[in-house]
Amino acid sequence: MIDLSMKIPPELKIREHNGVKIEKWILRKAFEDTNYLPDNILWRYKVQYAQGAGCESLGEKIANKEMSEDEFEKIKAENPKATINSREAAYYFKIFRKFHPQNSILGSIGIWTGFDFAEEKEKVKGTVC
Coil, helix or strand for 21? strand
Residue 129 belongs to a domain: no
- Bridge partner residues of 15 (DSSP): 22
Domain region containing 26: 2-122
Instruction: Find residue 16's DSSP bridge partners.
Output: 21
The per-residue pLDDT for 48 is: 62
Residue 91 belongs to a domain: yes
Whether 50 is in a domain gets the answer yes
Averaged pLDDT for residues 9-33: 88
Q: 20 in helix, strand or coil?
A: strand
Q: Rg of the chain's alpha carbons, rounded to an integer?
A: 16
Higher pLDDT among residues 76 and 109, named by residue? 76
Q: Is the pTM of this model over 0.85?
A: no
Whether 77 is in a domain gets the answer yes
pLDDT tens digits, residue range 82-116?
Answer: 888 889 889 988 998 898 888 777 766 666 665 56
80 φ, ψ (degrees, to nearest 5): -65, -20
For the chain, how many structural domains are there in total? Answer: 1
Beta strands of the chain (E only): which ranges?
15-17, 20-22
Asked if residue 127 is part of any domain, the answer here is: no
